[in-house]
Amino acid sequence: MLGQVPPEFYQPSPPEEFAFDWDNEKVRRLKVPVTRLAVARLAWNFDAPLLTGNVSLRDVLANPGQHPEHTQRILKADTRYPLDVMFHKGRWMILDGMHRLAKLALLCGARQVRVRRIPESAIPKIAISPSAKDRMMRRLGAVLPGLGGTDQFEFYKNVAKRYAETAARLLDRHDLLGASKIASDAEDMIEKAYDILRQRHPEDISRKDLEEVFEVRTLASFVQTAFLKETNKLFSAVFDPPKTPIRQAIHTLVDAETAVKDGDLERAKRLVFESTIMARTIRERSKNPDERHGAEDLLTRMVPAMIQAIKTVEAGGKWVTPE
């Protein structure tokens, strides 16, 4: 798990939405000074819907494995750049930087973040009409009903093919997120083409049409599979990292707790002894200050608590999980 949203960041009031669409490139070109803003002022954004996936940052952080796209974006977010925010509808709303906010606040523990405060007076400079894709789809919806089946099929098939080829090029450039998004569009388009094809009489369906549909499907599927493989590698690196010496010492102490619960007190004592030796070695020899701090905490707090718990059980008392 990436980390839970702290209770102080929970604001149950319903999230607001911007009353306009904007162009991020136009926002970035604005000359606005960088200042600081308390994370608490942006807290409600953890419950606001992200632009894709119909989920919030809170949903992603609670179940990162179910939202690989947003999880990867949080982990890879470049926090060197400030967030672009605007005081709109009585709240600080994020124009650009939702994933950076999650990384800074929850992974880095920041309580203030660098921001560029975009004034509402800049809305005419950054606002755009609905996206080109939405406009195209609306025009398509108005025109296609009057076209023949062949024209509809060819349009969807050709658009899907271009999307799939673009996704493959992005994959070659290691733009996994962009490749996955475009491949998803390709899959949607090729399914529309295939639905039109299925409505034809079998004798009117050419082998060439079927092969082209299959080729686009295969290419889009290949891109999505590659995206998932790379995402799974990232999850393994983040959520199941190799055991460092201090992690090994802590895990040994956890094994001792399990042994006590199983009634094997001799094994528990041996494991506590092993954990203690490992921690002392780390404290004396490690060049990593974080590891030395962890070893000191284990020796002064965790090990004594475990020893006391074992003595309590030996004396016939009830097991109490050491704090």
Express each pLDDT in 29-52 by its tens digit: 899 999 999 988 888 888 777 755
Query: Residues 45, 60: one domain?
Result: yes
Indicate the pLDDT class of residue 133, thresholds 50, 70 and 90.
very low
Query: Residues 106, 39: one domain?
Result: yes
Task: Report d(CA 105, CA 56) in Å as an integer.
Answer: 15
User: Is there a domain that residue 321 lies in?
Assistant: no
Q: Which residues contact 240 (CB under 8 A, 6 or more apart)?
A: none
Strand partners, 38: 112
User: Is there a domain that residue 36 lies in?
Assistant: yes
Query: Residues 207, 164: one domain?
Result: yes
The reported pLDDT for the residue numbered 32 is 93
Query: Residues 87, 31: one domain?
Result: yes
CATH number of the CATH domain containing 21: 3.90.1530
Q: Are 314 and 265 in contact (CB under 8 A)?
A: yes
| Domain finish residue from 128, 143, 164 | 128
Whether residue 84 is predicted with pLDDT greater than 90 in this model: the reply is yes
Mean pLDDT of 196-220: 79
User: Is there a domain that residue 272 lies in?
Assistant: yes
| Domain finish residue from 70, 104, 128 | 128
The one-letter code for the residue type at 130 is P
Query: Residues 17, 104: one domain?
Result: yes
User: Is there a domain that residue 150 lies in?
Assistant: yes
Task: Report d(CA 72, CA 230) in Å as an integer.
Answer: 10
Structural domain boundaries, residue 308:
245-314
Whether residue 64 is predicted with pLDDT greater than 50 in this model: the reply is yes
Whether residue 139 is predicted with pLDDT greater than 50 in this model: the reply is no
Whether residue 85 is predicted with pLDDT greater than 90 in this model: the reply is yes
Query: Residues 89, 44: one domain?
Result: yes
Mean pLDDT of 295-301: 86
Task: Report d(CA 190, CA 285) in Å as an integer.
Answer: 60
What is the pTM for the complete model shown? 0.41
Query: Residues 124, 136: one domain?
Result: no
Percent of the chain with pLDDT over 70: 79
Sole residue written with tokens 């600081």: 36
| Domain finish residue from 218, 239, 260 | 239
Task: Report d(CA 241, CA 235) in Å as an integer.
Answer: 9
Query: Residues 185, 149: one domain?
Result: yes
Q: Phi/psi of residue 154, each to 5°?
A: -65, -40
The reported pLDDT for the residue numbered 17 is 56
Query: Residues 306, 283: one domain?
Result: yes
User: Is there a domain that residue 119 lies in?
Assistant: yes
User: If DSSP codes are grouped into helix, strand and coil, which group holds residue 10?
Assistant: coil
Report how many domains make up the chain.
3
Query: Residues 119, 157: one domain?
Result: no
User: Is there a domain that residue 31 lies in?
Assistant: yes
Query: Residues 292, 183: one domain?
Result: no
Query: Residues 118, 141: one domain?
Result: no
User: Is there a domain that residue 208 lies in?
Assistant: yes
DSSP letters spanning 194-233:
HHHHHTS-GGG--HHHHHHHHHHHHHHHHHHHHHHHHHHH
The reported pLDDT for the residue numbered 317 is 67
Indicate the pLDDT class of residue 10, thresholds 50, 70 and 90.
very low
Percent of the chain with pLDDT over 90: 7
